[in-house]
Amino acid sequence: MKNIFNFKSLLYVAMISLVFTSCTDEDYQKAIVEVETVDLAAGTADFTKFVSVGNSLTAGFTDGALFIKGQEMSIPNLVANKFAMIGGGEFTQPLMNDNIGGLLAGGNVIQNPRLYFDGAPKVLDAVPTTEVFAGVPGPYNNMGVPGAKTYHLGFSGYGNGAGLGVYANPYFVRMASSPAATVIGDAVSQQPTFFSMWIGANDVLRYSLNGGDGVDQTGNFDPSTYGDADITDPTVFAGVYSQLADALTGNGAKGVLLNLPDVTSIPYFTTVPYNPVPLDAATVAALNGAFAQYNGGVQQVLAGYVAANVITQEMADAEIAKRTINFVEGENNAVTIVDEYLMDLSAYGIPNYRHATSDDLLVLPSKSVIGTQVNGNPQLVNGVSVPLADKWVLTPNEQTAVQTATDAYNVTIETVATAKDLAFVDINTMMNQLASGGLLFDEFNMTNQYALGATFSLDGVHPTERGNAFIANKILMAIDAKYGSNFKASGNLNKAADFVTQYPASMQ
């Protein structure tokens, strides 16, 4: 057997031993410190006055609400804590009253308390105490406003309490420096030396969260879906986004821009299966009998279209295949849905029904609707005999609209970052990796799995505390790359184990 030790190895060991035996304990400790310690440096960045602009993702919104603990663990606050180590100043936030979450307007609940996990997500059994009209005017360093779209940031009146429920945002009403203030105006008035901007998710998110439909199914104010439900035109987005960046860099401030994730990969869209319906033989027979008239009507009308040369036989066959409702005995029947993108046969009294497929994304709240009875009638079952309305499903056509807009927005964001020589964080790529196996954060694997993936909170949209820390690290590393700081090299990134993934029901 070959001797694995050679003369050079022995000589090296001997030299190391000689060094250690000739040093005192004090010399040894000093040598270790000198080798391992790297002083934290800001590079060319000035963190004296840090201001963050954004929406609920930067405000600290999590578990369906805004509350003190979530705000303390917000992405920009975690970043500001690191900036404070090298000259960063105070970072102020419009803190809520408590850890209950939720909002009151004139004493009326307009936003529910936070969620907690008890085998399933539940709304905290408490009454919100934070009153919109009792806020403390800003401006604040954290100018993240839940619900804000890009064009909201420059809208005068967005913080005017008189317009609440019409055009004003209750969170900005709490924190605006005046009723006529704008979000970007309050941010710029602080003359930041460094800024972050993560805005644009809501420009597609409300449309997405509501299944491409303009109605908020929750029935109360939801900051994630606040404002109009249309997808912002990419040309409008580009113009507004550039103006926001111009305003923030007008005084020579450096900063970091974050692009937008593919929102359809978040747990809100990936948790509810398209085929969760178990059926026995008798129920299958009854259902198929009930839908026989619908199936026959579709075939008859499309046959007429073919005969009249309106469509080809191939087109008719494809449409019939999409629309035919046919249940089978077993555990995994697909739900029935309304799809507005099907061929319009309403002139013949035929609705746009079909089975969902694996290409459809059922929104998270649909889980509590599928299988429920309509007005207590056992023959009228949502998602089975009664197709789910458009708002419960994001169909492939709607997903394409979301993706097209998101791609265009991200081109704008990266172009602006390059043109203005700003740091840039590619959240979109990160999200795709989370959805396809996960990403390591120290010893933990972060995924997009609902409630258990460590990244997303119980609302299925916003990050957990650990998810925020993960994104904060990405921001710090982007700043290292652009401005020559050394948060990573000096060992000053956030540690995964220091951050939790769920909050208890009782939390002071």
- Which whole-number Å values give the CA distances from 477 to 86, 484, 488, 493, in the listed order? 15, 10, 6, 8
Lowest mean pLDDT among 138-147, 210-219, 364-373, 382-391: 210-219
Say yes or no: 158 and 297 in one domain: no
| Residue with more model confidence, 20 or 312 | 312
| Residue at 260 is within a domain | yes
- Looking at residue 507, its pLDDT comes to 87
Amino acid code (one letter) for 417: A
> In the predicted model, what is the mean pLDDT of residues 337-358?
97
- Looking at residue 439, its pLDDT comes to 97
| Residue at 157 is within a domain | yes
> In the predicted model, what is the mean pLDDT of residues 461-470?
98
The answer to whether the CB of 76 falls within 8 A of the CB of 59 is no
β partners of residue 62:
65
Q: Which of 400, 365, 322 is nearest to 123 (CA)?
A: 365
Task: Please state the three-class secondary structure of 27-38 as a single string.
Answer: HHHHHHHHHHCC
Residue 201 has pLDDT above 70, yes or no: yes
- Which whole-number Å values give the CA distances from 507 to 97, 116, 122, 243, 426, in the listed order? 13, 10, 15, 41, 34
Kindly report, residue by residue over 322-335, the tens digit of the pLDDT: 999 999 999 999 99
Lowest mean pLDDT among 2-6, 37-41, 240-244: 2-6
Say yes or no: 243 and 302 in one domain: no
Q: What percent of the chain has pLDDT over 90?
A: 87
| Residue at 503 is within a domain | no
| Residue at 29 is within a domain | no
Looking at residue 104, which CATH number applies to its domain?
Answer: 3.40.50.1110
Domain that holds residue 307: 277-355+361-394
Lowest mean pLDDT among 53-57, 69-73, 224-228, 384-388: 224-228
Say yes or no: 82 and 227 in one domain: yes
- Looking at residue 21, its pLDDT comes to 39
Burial classification of residue 363, based on how many CB atoms lie within 10 Å of its CB (0-12 exposed, 13-18 middle, 19 or more buried)? buried
Q: Is the backbone peptide bond immediately before 139 cis, with ω within 30 degrees of 0?
A: yes
| Residue at 298 is within a domain | yes
Say yes or no: 400 and 386 in one domain: no
Say yes or no: 144 and 59 in one domain: yes
Say yes or no: 383 and 483 in one domain: no
| Residue at 146 is within a domain | yes
Domain boundary among 394, 413, 447: 394
- Which whole-number Å values give the CA distances from 41 to 76, 86, 191, 231, in the listed order? 19, 7, 22, 42
Lowest mean pLDDT among 4-18, 224-238, 466-480: 4-18
Say yes or no: 234 and 326 in one domain: no
pTM of the shown model: 0.89
- Looking at residue 35, its pLDDT comes to 44
Q: Which of 397, 423, 458 is nearest to 122 (CA)?
A: 458
Lowest mean pLDDT among 183-192, 209-218, 377-386: 209-218
| Residue at 197 is within a domain | yes
Write out the H or E segment, with its range, that includes residue 51. strand 50-54
| Residue at 296 is within a domain | yes
**Per-residue confidence at 228, pLDDT binned at 50, 70, 90?**
low
Say yes or no: 293 and 427 in one domain: no
Say yes or no: 214 and 329 in one domain: no
**Per-residue confidence at 337, pLDDT binned at 50, 70, 90?**
very high
Residue 219 has pLDDT above 70, yes or no: no
- Looking at residue 475, its pLDDT comes to 98
CA distance 62 to 116: 11
* Mean of per-residue pLDDT scores for the chain: 91
Say yes or no: 190 and 109 in one domain: yes
Say yes or no: 105 and 155 in one domain: yes
CA distance 73 to 471: 12
**Per-residue confidence at 376, pLDDT binned at 50, 70, 90?**
very high
The answer to whether the CB of 482 falls within 8 A of the CB of 422 is yes
Say yes or no: 310 and 211 in one domain: no
Kindly report, residue by residue over 48-84, the tens digit of the pLDDT: 999 999 999 999 999 999 999 999 999 999 999 999 9
Kindly report, residue by residue over 434-460, the tens digit of the pLDDT: 999 999 999 999 999 999 999 999 999
CA distance 393 to 272: 10
**Per-residue confidence at 226, pLDDT binned at 50, 70, 90?**
very low
How far from chain centre, in Å, is Cα 491? 28
Kindly report, residue by residue over 156-174, the tens digit of the pLDDT: 999 999 999 889 999 999 9
Domain boundary among 394, 414, 445: 394
Domain boundary among 344, 374, 394: 394
Domain count, the chain: 2
CA distance 363 to 122: 17
Angle formed by the axes of helices 396-419 and 202-209, nearest 10°: 170
**Per-residue confidence at 421, pLDDT binned at 50, 70, 90?**
very high
- Looking at residue 221, its pLDDT comes to 36
Angle formed by the axes of helices 75-83 and 465-483, nearest 10°: 50
Kindly report, residue by residue over 12-33, the tens digit of the pLDDT: 333 334 333 344 555 545 444 4
- Looking at residue 206, its pLDDT comes to 87
